[in-house]
C-alpha cells in the first residue's frame, strides 16, 4: 500500500516535471527578425521574449492541445492552436497592424479635423482661433482649399458647386437647415456652436456611399462623446451673451447652452449700409444628453433658435428700397445610438427631426413656409479583422414642405410637396497592407416623388509612396434632388447628378502637411427653366449640364518657426454650367478662378496671448452687364480681406478676446445690380452690391467656472 502510494506520487511528480521545449523564430512580412515579441502559452506562465535574431525558446510542463500567442507592438497578435509537441522550430510571420499612425489613409477629397484622425488638417481649436472665422465652423472651413469666397453669402461653396450641393451631418444624421437666416448682404453662420463638436470631416468630393443627396461636398460633425468635467461657461460679447453648463452624473451627462444675440447696440455705434427697422435679434438654445450603456452610447441633441429682423434694402428698381422682414423658428432634434454588439458587429443608428417655419414679408407680400423633415438611418458594421470591414445600412428621408402666399390681390394660396426618399448602401474597407488601402461601395436610392431608382458607385484607393507621402484616387457618382424652390412648383423632374474624379497627393512630416489635389467634376441632368423667377407657370426640365475642374493646394506648418502655426490654401477653379435660366454655358456668379487663404497664429508666451491673422484673396466673380453683349459677361474686381484677432488669457479660466474683420478696410464689391429698364439714353443703370459693413469688430470676455479650474473657453471662441 505504502509503496504503491510512493509510486503514484513519483509518477505524479514525473508528469509534473515532464517538460516540452517550445522554440522558433519570429519574422515580419519583410522577412526581418522581430526583436522583443512576447511568445507564450495561453493560461500558463511559460513564455519568452524573442532575441535580436527573432529566436525564442522556452520550456513548459503543459501537455496536449495548447494555444501559443505571439504579441508585439504595432503588429497583429497571432494565435496558434496545436499539440504542444508541434511547437518546435516554428517559423512565425507577424503581420503589421494597419491601425497605426504611419499606415496609409484614404485621403482623396477629405479633410479631417479632430483628435481622432491620423492626419488632421485642422484641430477643433482652429475653428475658434482662426481670425476670419468668428467662432463659426463654416468660417474656419472656408480657409481650406476647394472652397470659394462668396462673401455676402457665408455658406460653403465647394469646387464650382452651389451651397446647397454641400450637405451637413451631425453624428451621421442629416441637418436640413444648417444655416442661420440673414439678409442678402450679410453672411450667414452655421447654427450650431462649435464647442459641441470634437471631430469634423470635410469632404470636397469622392465621399463614402453612406452619404447621398449631395452633388459636391459633405461635412460631418461629431458631437463630443463624453465631457471631461462639470463646468459653467459665461460669455459676454459686444453683440450678446451666452451661458452654458455641463453636468455629469453616473453614466449620464447633460450640456446646455443658451445664447442671445442682438445687433442693435453694435449698429448704433457702427452704422452699416442697411436701413434697419428692427435689427437682427436671435435667441438660441442647445442641449446634449449622453448616456453610456455597457457597450454603447446614446446621444440626444436638440437645438432651437428664433430669429427676427426687418429692414429696407436698397434696390436699383425701387428708389425707396424694398421693405423686407423675416421671422424664423427652427427646431432640430437628433438622437443617435451606437453599440458594439460583440468583437465583430457594431450597430449604429439615429433619427433627426427638423421643424422650420419662416414668415417673410416683402412689400405687401406675406409668405409663410413650413418644413417638416425626418431622416432615419440604421448602419451595421462587420469587422472580419483589422484589414477587412464591411458597412451596410438603410436610410429614409422625408420632407413635407408647404408655403402660403398672400398679397393685395392674392389671398391664401397654398402649395408644397412631400418628398420621400429611401436609400440603401454598402461599402467595404480593405487594407491590403500598411501601404495599400481600398474603399469601395455603392448606394441605391428610390425617390417616391419621381418614382425612380438611382445607383451610385463609389471608389477610393490609397497607396503609400514613401514613409511620409501617399497618393489617393477617388471616383464617385452622386445624385441630388432639386431644391424646394423648384420642387414646390414642379415635381415632374428627376435627380440631378455629378461624377467626381480625384487624384490626391499628400506629404505628412512631423508638424508639416502638404496636400495637392486635382479633380474633374461633371454635372448632368441639372434643372433648367424659362423664367426669371420660379413660379407656377415656369417650364422646368432636366436638360442642364456643366463641369468643374481645378487644383487645390494646402500647406500647414507648425514646427519650423517657434510658436508660429500657419497654413496656406490655394484653389484654382475652371467651371461652367448651363442650368436654371442661363442663356448659355457660363461661369456662375458664385464661382471664381483663384482663391487664396493664409492663416497664421502666433503664441506670445510672456503675454499669455495668441494673436492671429487671416488673409483672404478671391479673384473676381461674374455678373451680367445688360449694356454689353452676352450673358455673365463681366467680372467684379478681386476680393481682399485681412482679419486680426487677439486672445488674452487673464488666467487659465478667463479669456479676453478681440477681433476685427477686414482690418485694412478694403472696399469689396460682390456684384452689380442693373435696372430692369433702360434710362432715356438707353443705358441700364447699375448699383454695386456691397457688404452691409466693410468691417466688423468683436470684443468678448469668456469665463469658465469648473471645480478643477483649468478648463477654459478657448474652445468656445
Partner 1 sequence: MYKIAIIITLMFSQILSAQSTYETGMNKAFELWKSGQPAEASNLFERIATVESDNWLPSYYAAQVLILDSFTKLKDKHALEAQLKKAQTFLDDAVSRSKDNPENMVLQAMLHTAYVASDGANYGMSLSPKINALYAKAAQLAPNNPRVILCKAEWDMGSAKYFGQDTKPFCEQIEKSLQLFANFKPETTFDPNWGKERAEQLTAQCKA
In this structure, the number of other CB atoms found within 10 A of the CB of residue 283 comes to 15
Pairing of strands 275-292, 252-262: antiparallel
Distance CA(500)–CA(458), nearest Å, equals 9
Identify which of residues 315 and 557 has a Cβ nearer to partner 1 in the complex: 557
**Nearer Cβ to partner 1 (102/275):** 102
Beta carbon nearer to partner 1, 40 or 169? 40
Report the DSSP beta bridge partners of residue 633: none
* Shortest distance in whole angstroms from residue 74 CB to partner 1: 4
| Cell numbers for 239 | 453683440
**Minimal distance in Å, beta carbon 714 to partner 1?**
7
325 vs 652, beta carbon nearer partner 1: 652
Closest approach, Cβ 599 to partner 1, in A, equals: 15
- Residue closer to partner 1 (CB basis): 78 or 477: 78
| Contact (Cβ atoms closer than 8 angstroms) between residue 76 and residue 94 | yes
d(CA 106, CA 134): 31
Least distance in angstroms from the C-beta of 338 to partner 1 = 18
Give 45 or 533: the residue with its C-beta nearer to partner 1.
45
Contacts of 312 (CB under 8 A, 6+ apart): 274, 275, 277, 320, 321, 322, 323, 324
Q: How far is the CB of 36 from partner 1 (least distance, A)?
A: 5
Backbone angles phi, psi at 606, to 5 degrees: -80, -5
Distance CA 111, CA 123 (A): 11
The nearer residue to partner 1, 16 or 680, going by C-beta atoms, is 16
Q: What angle do CA 590, 214, 579 make, to 5 degrees?
A: 45
- Pick between residue 102 and residue 407 the one whose CB is nearest to partner 1: 102
Burial grade of 512 (CB within 10 A; 0-12, 13-18, 19 or more): middle
CB neighbour list of residue 143: distance below 8 Å, 6 or more residues apart: 130, 132, 133, 567, 569, 597, 599, 614, 616
Q: Three-state SS for 126?
A: helix
Nearer to partner 1 by Cβ, of 73 and 452: the residue is 73
Which residues contribute to the site for partner 1 (CB under 8 A)? 5, 12, 36, 38, 40, 42-47, 49, 69, 71, 73-74, 100-102, 115, 123-125, 198, 228-229, 510, 558, 565, 608, 649, 651-652, 707-708, 710-711, 714-715
- As a whole number of angstroms, the longest Cα–Cα distance in the chain is 134
CB of 210 to partner 1, least distance (A): 26
The nearer residue to partner 1, 254 or 316, going by C-beta atoms, is: 254
Smallest distance from the beta carbon of 511 to partner 1, in angstroms? 8
Mode of pairing for the β-strands spanning 110-114 and 120-122: parallel
- Do 635 and 621 form a contact (C-beta atoms < 8 A)? yes
The minimum distance between CB 354 and partner 1, in angstroms, equals 30
> Least CB distance from residue 38 to partner 1, whole Å?
4
- Please calculate the CA angle 563-568-573 and round it to the nearest 5 degrees: 170
Angstrom distance (rounded) from CA 199 to CA 112: 8
The answer to whether residues 579 and 548 touch, using CB atoms and an 8 Å cutoff, is no
Rounded to a whole number of angstroms, the minimum distance from the CB of residue 232 to partner 1 is: 15
Amino acid at each position: 500500500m505504502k509503496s504503491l502510494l510512493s509510486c503514484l506520487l513519483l509518477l505524479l511528480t514525473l508528469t509534473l516535471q515532464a517538460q516540452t521545449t517550445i522554440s522558433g523564430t519570429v519574422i515580419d512580412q519583410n522577412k526581418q527578425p522581430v526583436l522583443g515579441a512576447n511568445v507564450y502559452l495561453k493560461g500558463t506562465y511559460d513564455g519568452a521574449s524573442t532575441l535580436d535574431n527573432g529566436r525564442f525558446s522556452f520550456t513548459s510542463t503543459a501537455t496536449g492541445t495548447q494555444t501559443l500567442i505571439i504579441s508585439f507592438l504595432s503588429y497583429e497578435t497571432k494565435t496558434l492552436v496545436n499539440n504542444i509537441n508541434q511547437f518546435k522550430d516554428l517559423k512565425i510571420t507577424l503581420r503589421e497592424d494597419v491601425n497605426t499612425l504611419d499606415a496609409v489613409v484614404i485621403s482623396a477629397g477629405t479633410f479631417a479635423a479632430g483628435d481622432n484622425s491620423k492626419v488632421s488638417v485642422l484641430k477643433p481649436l482652429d475653428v475658434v482661433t482662426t481670425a476670419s472665422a468668428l467662432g463659426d465652423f463654416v468660417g474656419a472651413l472656408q480657409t481650406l482649399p476647394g472652397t470659394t469666397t462668396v462673401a455676402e453669402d457665408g455658406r460653403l461653396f465647394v469646387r464650382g458647386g452651389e451651397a446647397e450641393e454641400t450637405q451637413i451631418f451631425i453624428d451621421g444624421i442629416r441637418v436640413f437647415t444648417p444655416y442661420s437666416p440673414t439678409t442678402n448682404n450679410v453672411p450667414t453662420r452655421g447654427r450650431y456652436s462649435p464647442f459641441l463638436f470634437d471631430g469634423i470631416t470635410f469632404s470636397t468630393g469622392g465621399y463614402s456611399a453612406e452619404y447621398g443627396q449631395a452633388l459636391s461636398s459633405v461635412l460631418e460633425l461629431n458631437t463630443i462623446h463624453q465631457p471631461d468635467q462639470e463646468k459653467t461657461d459665461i460669455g459676454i460679447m459686444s453683440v450678446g451673451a451666452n451661458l452654458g453648463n455641463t453636468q455629469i452624473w453616473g453614466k449620464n451627462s447633460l450640456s446646455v447652452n443658451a445664447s442671445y444675440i442682438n445687433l442693435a447696440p453694435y449698429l448704433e455705434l457702427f452704422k452699416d449700409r442697411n436701413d434697419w427697422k428692427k435689427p437682427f435679434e436671435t435667441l438660441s438654445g442647445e442641449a446634449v444628453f449622453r448616456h453610456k450603456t455597457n457597450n454603447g452610447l446614446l446621444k440626444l441633441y436638440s437645438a432651437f433658435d428664433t430669429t427676427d429682423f426687418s429692414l429696407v434694402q436698397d434696390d436699383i428698381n425701387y428708389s425707396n428700397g424694398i421693405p423686407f422682414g423675416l421671422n424664423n423658428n427652427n427646431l432640430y432634434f437628433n438622437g443617435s445610438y451606437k453599440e458594439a454588439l460583440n468583437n465583430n458587429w457594431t450597430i449604429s443608428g439615429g433619427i433627426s427631426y427638423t421643424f422650420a417655419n419662416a414668415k417673410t414679408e416683402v412689400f405687401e407680400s406675406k409668405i409663410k413656409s413650413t418644413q417638416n423633415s425626418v431622416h432615419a438611418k440604421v448602419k451595421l458594421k462587420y469587422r472580419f479583422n483589422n484589414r477587412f470591414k464591411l458597412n451596410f445600412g438603410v436610410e429614409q428621408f422625408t420632407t413635407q414642405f408647404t408655403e402660403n402666399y398672400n398679397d393685395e390681390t392674392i389671398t391664401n394660396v397654398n402649395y408644397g410637396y412631400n418628398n420621400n426618399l429611401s436609400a440603401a448602401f454598402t461599402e467595404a474597407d480593405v487594407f491590403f497592407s500598411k501601404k495599400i488601402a481600398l474603399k469601395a461601395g455603392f448606394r441605391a436610392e428610390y425617390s417616391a416623388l419621381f418614382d425612380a431608382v438611382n445607383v451610385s458607385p463609389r471608389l477610393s484607393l490609397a497607396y503609400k509612396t514613401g514613409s511620409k507621402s501617399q497618393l489617393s484616387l477617388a471616383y464617385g457618382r452622386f445624385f441630388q434632388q432639386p431644391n424646394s424652390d423648384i420642387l414646390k412648383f414642379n415635381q415632374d423632374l428627376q435627380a440631378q447628378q455629378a461624377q467626381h474624379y480625384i487624384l490626391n497627393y499628400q506629404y505628412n512630416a512631423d508638424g508639416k502637411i502638404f496636400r495637392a489635389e486635382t479633380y474633374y467634376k461633371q454635372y448632368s441632368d441639372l434643372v433648367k427653366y424659362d423664367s426669371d423667377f420660379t413660379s407656377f407657370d415656369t417650364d422646368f426640365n432636366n436638360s442642364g449640364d456643366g463641369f468643374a475642374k481645378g487644383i487645390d493646394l494646402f500647406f500647414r506648418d507648425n514646427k519650423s518657426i517657434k510658436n508660429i502655426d500657419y497654413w496656406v490654401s490655394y484653389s484654382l477653379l475652371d467651371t461652367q454650367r448651363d442650368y436654371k435660366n442661363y442663356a448659355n454655358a457660363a461661369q456662375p456668379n458664385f464661382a471664381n478662378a483663384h482663391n487664396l487663404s493664409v492663416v497664421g497664429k502666433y503664441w506670445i508666451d510672456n503675454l499669455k496671448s495668441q494673436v492671429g491673422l487671416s488673409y483672404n484673396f478671391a479673384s473676381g466673380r461674374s455678373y451680367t452687364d445688360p449694356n454689353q453683349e452676352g450673358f455673365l459677361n463681366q467680372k467684379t474686381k478681386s476680393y481682399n480681406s485681412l482679419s486680426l484677432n487677439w486672445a488674452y488669457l487673464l488666467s487659465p479660466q478667463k479669456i479676453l478676446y478681440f477681433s476685427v474683420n477686414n482690418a485694412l478696410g478694403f472696399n469689396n464689391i460682390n456684384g452689380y445690380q442693373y435696372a430692369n429698364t433702360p434710362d432715356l439714353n438707353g443705358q441700364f443703370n447699375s448699383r454695386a452690391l456691397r457688404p452691409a459693413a466693410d468691417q466688423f469688430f468683436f470684443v468678448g470676455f469668456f469665463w469658465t467656472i469648473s471645480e478643477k479650474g483649468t478648463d477654459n473657453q478657448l474652445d468656445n471662441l
